[in-house]
Amino acid sequence: MSASTTDHPLANETTRVDDHSNQHFDLEKGNGGVGGAALGRQFSIQLTAEQFERLYLQPGGVAAKGDLAKRFANPTPLGVASFLLCLTPFSTELMGWSGPTTDSAVVAVGAFYYVGGVVLYLSGLLEWIIGNTFPATVFMTFGGYWLAFAFLFQPSQGIAAALGGSPRPSTTKAQRCIWFGGEFYLIASLRTNVVFALLFTFLDITFWILVAVYVQLGYGHVTHVPMELKTAGAFAFLTSACGWYLLVVLIFGSTGIPIALPVGDLSNFMSGRRKAK
Protein backbone atom coordinates (compact mmCIF):
# COMPACT_ATOMS: atom_id res chain seq x y z
CA MET A 1 0.00 0.00 0.00
CA SER A 2 1.44 3.39 -0.95
CA ALA A 3 0.56 6.78 0.53
CA SER A 4 -0.40 9.46 -1.95
CA THR A 5 0.10 13.14 -1.36
CA THR A 6 -3.57 13.88 -1.92
CA ASP A 7 -4.88 11.34 0.59
CA HIS A 8 -2.45 12.11 3.43
CA PRO A 9 -3.96 14.42 6.09
CA LEU A 10 -0.80 16.62 6.14
CA ALA A 11 -0.47 17.01 2.39
CA ASN A 12 -2.59 20.12 2.11
CA GLU A 13 -1.86 21.80 5.45
CA THR A 14 -2.70 25.44 4.72
CA THR A 15 -4.01 28.49 6.43
CA ARG A 16 -6.88 30.57 5.09
CA VAL A 17 -6.82 34.33 5.36
CA ASP A 18 -10.15 35.95 5.98
CA ASP A 19 -11.41 39.37 4.88
CA HIS A 20 -10.10 40.99 8.03
CA SER A 21 -6.50 40.79 6.83
CA ASN A 22 -4.94 38.05 8.93
CA GLN A 23 -1.53 37.78 7.25
CA HIS A 24 -0.10 34.34 6.32
CA PHE A 25 3.67 33.78 6.50
CA ASP A 26 5.44 30.49 5.55
CA LEU A 27 8.22 29.71 8.00
CA GLU A 28 9.50 26.43 6.59
CA LYS A 29 8.89 24.25 3.59
CA GLY A 30 10.22 20.73 3.15
CA ASN A 31 9.58 17.41 1.48
CA GLY A 32 9.34 14.19 3.38
CA GLY A 33 8.72 10.61 2.35
CA VAL A 34 5.93 8.30 3.43
CA GLY A 35 6.03 4.82 1.94
CA GLY A 36 8.37 5.96 -0.82
CA ALA A 37 6.09 8.81 -1.96
CA ALA A 38 6.96 12.49 -1.70
CA LEU A 39 5.06 14.34 0.97
CA GLY A 40 4.83 18.14 0.82
CA ARG A 41 4.46 19.74 4.23
CA GLN A 42 4.08 23.40 5.00
CA PHE A 43 4.36 25.03 8.39
CA SER A 44 2.62 28.38 8.66
CA ILE A 45 1.54 30.93 11.19
CA GLN A 46 -0.97 33.75 11.15
CA LEU A 47 -0.33 37.38 11.87
CA THR A 48 -3.40 39.30 12.90
CA ALA A 49 -3.87 42.90 11.81
CA GLU A 50 -2.64 44.01 15.23
CA GLN A 51 0.50 41.88 14.99
CA PHE A 52 1.32 43.03 11.47
CA GLU A 53 0.86 46.67 12.46
CA ARG A 54 3.05 46.08 15.50
CA LEU A 55 5.92 44.78 13.36
CA TYR A 56 5.60 47.03 10.29
CA LEU A 57 3.79 50.18 11.55
CA GLN A 58 1.41 49.85 8.62
CA PRO A 59 -1.92 51.65 9.26
CA GLY A 60 -4.72 49.16 9.78
CA GLY A 61 -2.27 46.26 9.89
CA VAL A 62 -3.00 45.36 6.26
CA ALA A 63 -0.14 44.00 4.16
CA ALA A 64 0.18 44.62 0.45
CA LYS A 65 -0.65 41.81 -1.95
CA GLY A 66 2.18 39.43 -2.81
CA ASP A 67 4.82 37.64 -0.81
CA LEU A 68 7.63 40.21 -0.73
CA ALA A 69 7.13 40.76 3.00
CA LYS A 70 7.90 37.07 3.47
CA ARG A 71 11.02 37.14 1.30
CA PHE A 72 12.72 40.22 2.72
CA ALA A 73 13.69 41.18 6.25
CA ASN A 74 11.61 43.75 8.12
CA PRO A 75 13.16 47.19 7.39
CA THR A 76 11.01 49.09 9.91
CA PRO A 77 13.39 48.79 12.92
CA LEU A 78 16.26 50.08 10.77
CA GLY A 79 14.28 53.15 9.75
CA VAL A 80 13.18 53.95 13.30
CA ALA A 81 16.71 53.45 14.66
CA SER A 82 18.35 55.69 12.05
CA PHE A 83 15.82 58.46 12.72
CA LEU A 84 16.42 58.26 16.47
CA LEU A 85 20.21 58.27 16.15
CA CYS A 86 19.88 61.76 14.67
CA LEU A 87 16.93 63.15 16.60
CA THR A 88 18.15 62.18 20.08
CA PRO A 89 21.48 64.07 19.98
CA PHE A 90 19.77 66.95 18.18
CA SER A 91 17.23 67.24 21.01
CA THR A 92 20.05 67.43 23.57
CA GLU A 93 21.68 70.17 21.50
CA LEU A 94 18.46 72.19 21.54
CA MET A 95 18.19 71.82 25.31
CA GLY A 96 21.76 73.06 25.72
CA TRP A 97 23.18 69.89 27.23
CA SER A 98 26.30 70.26 25.08
CA GLY A 99 26.86 73.93 25.81
CA PRO A 100 25.26 77.31 25.19
CA THR A 101 26.02 77.44 21.44
CA THR A 102 24.80 75.50 18.42
CA ASP A 103 28.29 74.98 17.03
CA SER A 104 28.20 71.35 18.13
CA ALA A 105 25.50 70.73 15.51
CA VAL A 106 28.31 70.88 12.97
CA VAL A 107 29.86 67.80 14.60
CA ALA A 108 26.69 65.82 13.87
CA VAL A 109 26.67 66.66 10.16
CA GLY A 110 28.13 63.27 9.28
CA ALA A 111 25.37 61.47 11.19
CA PHE A 112 22.75 63.70 9.56
CA TYR A 113 24.08 62.80 6.11
CA TYR A 114 24.61 59.08 6.42
CA VAL A 115 22.44 57.81 9.29
CA GLY A 116 19.51 60.20 9.11
CA GLY A 117 19.79 60.70 5.36
CA VAL A 118 21.14 57.70 3.46
CA VAL A 119 20.16 54.89 5.84
CA LEU A 120 16.71 56.33 6.57
CA TYR A 121 16.03 56.87 2.87
CA LEU A 122 17.19 53.32 2.14
CA SER A 123 14.81 52.02 4.81
CA GLY A 124 11.97 53.88 3.13
CA LEU A 125 12.93 52.38 -0.21
CA LEU A 126 12.81 48.88 1.28
CA GLU A 127 9.40 49.62 2.81
CA TRP A 128 8.24 50.75 -0.63
CA ILE A 129 9.48 47.49 -2.20
CA ILE A 130 7.45 45.32 0.17
CA GLY A 131 4.39 47.55 -0.27
CA ASN A 132 4.21 49.45 3.04
CA THR A 133 3.19 52.86 1.75
CA PHE A 134 2.96 54.85 4.97
CA PRO A 135 6.31 53.83 6.52
CA ALA A 136 7.96 54.28 3.12
CA THR A 137 6.60 57.82 2.81
CA VAL A 138 7.60 58.77 6.35
CA PHE A 139 11.12 57.35 6.12
CA MET A 140 11.84 58.84 2.69
CA THR A 141 10.59 62.33 3.49
CA PHE A 142 12.45 62.50 6.79
CA GLY A 143 15.52 61.02 5.13
CA GLY A 144 15.41 63.88 2.66
CA TYR A 145 14.88 66.33 5.51
CA TRP A 146 18.00 65.15 7.38
CA LEU A 147 20.03 65.39 4.16
CA ALA A 148 18.86 68.96 3.65
CA PHE A 149 19.52 69.76 7.30
CA ALA A 150 23.05 68.36 7.04
CA PHE A 151 23.70 70.44 3.92
CA LEU A 152 22.51 73.53 5.78
CA PHE A 153 25.02 73.04 8.60
CA GLN A 154 27.94 71.87 6.47
CA PRO A 155 30.72 74.40 7.17
CA SER A 156 32.05 74.39 3.62
CA GLN A 157 28.69 75.61 2.30
CA GLY A 158 28.53 78.59 4.66
CA ILE A 159 24.72 78.62 4.51
CA ALA A 160 24.08 78.62 8.26
CA ALA A 161 26.64 81.40 8.77
CA ALA A 162 25.04 83.49 6.04
CA LEU A 163 21.56 83.07 7.48
CA GLY A 164 22.85 83.86 10.94
CA GLY A 165 24.46 87.06 9.77
CA SER A 166 21.50 88.30 7.79
CA PRO A 167 18.26 86.62 8.90
CA ARG A 168 15.24 86.92 6.66
CA PRO A 169 11.63 86.03 7.41
CA SER A 170 11.22 84.46 3.98
CA THR A 171 13.62 81.65 4.91
CA THR A 172 10.96 80.14 7.19
CA LYS A 173 8.33 79.66 4.49
CA ALA A 174 9.86 76.48 3.12
CA GLN A 175 10.32 75.13 6.64
CA ARG A 176 6.67 75.75 7.46
CA CYS A 177 5.52 74.01 4.28
CA ILE A 178 7.67 70.95 4.99
CA TRP A 179 6.71 70.68 8.64
CA PHE A 180 3.02 71.09 7.89
CA GLY A 181 3.21 67.63 6.30
CA GLY A 182 3.81 66.22 9.76
CA GLU A 183 0.17 66.95 10.56
CA PHE A 184 -0.94 64.44 7.94
CA TYR A 185 1.47 61.85 9.32
CA LEU A 186 -0.07 62.35 12.74
CA ILE A 187 -3.56 61.72 11.38
CA ALA A 188 -2.40 58.60 9.54
CA SER A 189 -0.60 57.29 12.62
CA LEU A 190 -3.96 57.12 14.40
CA ARG A 191 -4.45 53.86 12.50
CA THR A 192 -1.27 52.28 13.92
CA ASN A 193 -0.76 52.45 17.69
CA VAL A 194 -0.80 54.93 20.55
CA VAL A 195 2.99 55.12 20.91
CA PHE A 196 3.49 55.95 17.22
CA ALA A 197 0.73 58.56 17.40
CA LEU A 198 2.34 60.16 20.48
CA LEU A 199 5.65 60.23 18.64
CA PHE A 200 4.16 62.30 15.83
CA THR A 201 2.28 64.50 18.30
CA PHE A 202 5.47 65.49 20.12
CA LEU A 203 7.35 65.81 16.82
CA ASP A 204 4.74 68.19 15.41
CA ILE A 205 4.93 70.35 18.54
CA THR A 206 8.71 70.42 18.18
CA PHE A 207 8.50 71.54 14.57
CA TRP A 208 6.01 74.32 15.23
CA ILE A 209 8.07 75.70 18.10
CA LEU A 210 11.11 75.73 15.82
CA VAL A 211 9.05 77.53 13.18
CA ALA A 212 8.25 80.20 15.78
CA VAL A 213 11.95 80.46 16.61
CA TYR A 214 12.88 80.99 12.95
CA VAL A 215 10.19 83.63 12.56
CA GLN A 216 11.45 85.57 15.57
CA LEU A 217 15.04 85.31 14.40
CA GLY A 218 13.97 86.56 11.00
CA TYR A 219 12.58 89.73 12.57
CA GLY A 220 15.49 90.11 14.96
CA HIS A 221 13.50 89.24 18.10
CA VAL A 222 15.85 87.11 20.16
CA THR A 223 14.61 87.66 23.72
CA HIS A 224 12.62 84.44 24.06
CA VAL A 225 14.58 82.34 21.58
CA PRO A 226 16.80 80.47 24.11
CA MET A 227 13.81 79.34 26.17
CA GLU A 228 11.87 78.35 23.06
CA LEU A 229 14.81 76.29 21.80
CA LYS A 230 14.95 74.44 25.11
CA THR A 231 11.20 73.82 24.93
CA ALA A 232 11.54 72.47 21.40
CA GLY A 233 14.39 70.27 22.57
CA ALA A 234 12.27 68.91 25.42
CA PHE A 235 9.48 67.88 23.04
CA ALA A 236 12.05 66.41 20.65
CA PHE A 237 13.41 64.40 23.57
CA LEU A 238 9.89 63.14 24.33
CA THR A 239 9.65 62.16 20.67
CA SER A 240 12.90 60.24 21.02
CA ALA A 241 11.65 58.50 24.17
CA CYS A 242 8.57 57.26 22.30
CA GLY A 243 10.78 56.22 19.41
CA TRP A 244 13.21 54.22 21.55
CA TYR A 245 10.30 52.46 23.25
CA LEU A 246 8.85 51.62 19.85
CA LEU A 247 12.23 50.38 18.64
CA VAL A 248 12.47 48.00 21.60
CA VAL A 249 9.00 46.67 20.72
CA LEU A 250 10.05 46.16 17.10
CA ILE A 251 13.31 44.43 18.00
CA PHE A 252 11.60 42.15 20.52
CA GLY A 253 8.94 41.26 17.97
CA SER A 254 11.47 40.61 15.20
CA THR A 255 13.68 38.37 17.33
CA GLY A 256 10.87 36.46 19.03
CA ILE A 257 11.64 37.64 22.56
CA PRO A 258 8.54 36.66 24.59
CA ILE A 259 8.00 40.11 26.09
CA ALA A 260 4.93 41.86 24.71
CA LEU A 261 5.30 45.52 25.64
CA PRO A 262 2.03 47.44 25.28
CA VAL A 263 1.75 49.93 22.42
CA GLY A 264 -2.00 50.56 22.37
CA ASP A 265 -3.30 48.97 19.18
CA LEU A 266 -5.25 51.34 16.90
CA SER A 267 -5.45 49.10 13.83
CA ASN A 268 -9.26 49.05 14.03
CA PHE A 269 -9.58 52.81 14.59
CA MET A 270 -11.44 54.60 11.77
CA SER A 271 -11.91 51.30 9.94
CA GLY A 272 -15.53 51.81 8.96
CA ARG A 273 -14.73 52.60 5.34
CA ARG A 274 -12.59 49.49 4.88
CA LYS A 275 -15.22 47.24 6.46
CA ALA A 276 -17.93 48.79 4.30
CA LYS A 277 -16.01 47.68 1.21
Nearest-5° Cα angle at 214, 212 to 217: 110
In a domain, 151, yes or no: yes
In angstroms, rounded to a whole number, what is the distance separating the alpha carbons of residues 75 and 256?
16
In angstroms, rounded to a whole number, what is the distance separating the alpha carbons of residues 202 and 225?
19
In a domain, 112, yes or no: yes
b/e map of 192-213 (b: 16 or more CB within 10 Å)? bbbbbbbbbbbbbbbbbbbbbb
Number of Cβ within 10 Å of residue 242's Cβ equals: 20
Residues 194 and 263 sit within 8 Å (Cβ to Cβ): yes
Within 8 A by CB and 6+ apart from 112, the residues are 86, 146, 147, 149, 150, 153
| CA distances from residue 165 to 82, 112, 136, 174 in whole angstroms, order as listed | 32, 23, 37, 19
CA dihedral 23, 251, 249, 181 (to 10 degrees): -80
In a domain, 179, yes or no: yes
Beta bridge partners of 91: none
In a domain, 56, yes or no: no
Query: Among 46, 128, 122, 26, which Cα is nearest to 78's?
Result: 122
In a domain, 270, yes or no: no
As for how many domains the chain has, the answer is 1
In a domain, 242, yes or no: yes
pTM score of the predicted model: 0.70
Residues of the domain holding 77: 73-255
Gyration radius of the chain over CA positions: 24
pLDDT of residue 163: 56
Summarised one tens digit per residue, pLDDT across range 76-109 is 999 999 999 999 999 998 898 876 555 556 677 8
In a domain, 193, yes or no: yes
In a domain, 5, yes or no: no
Summarised one tens digit per residue, pLDDT across range 160-176 is 555 554 444 444 555 55
The conformational region for residue 43 under phi > 0 = left, psi -120 to 50 = alpha, else beta, is beta
pLDDT of residue 223: 87
With a cut of 50, which residues of the chain have pLDDT below it?
1-45, 61, 165-171, 276-277
pLDDT of residue 204: 92
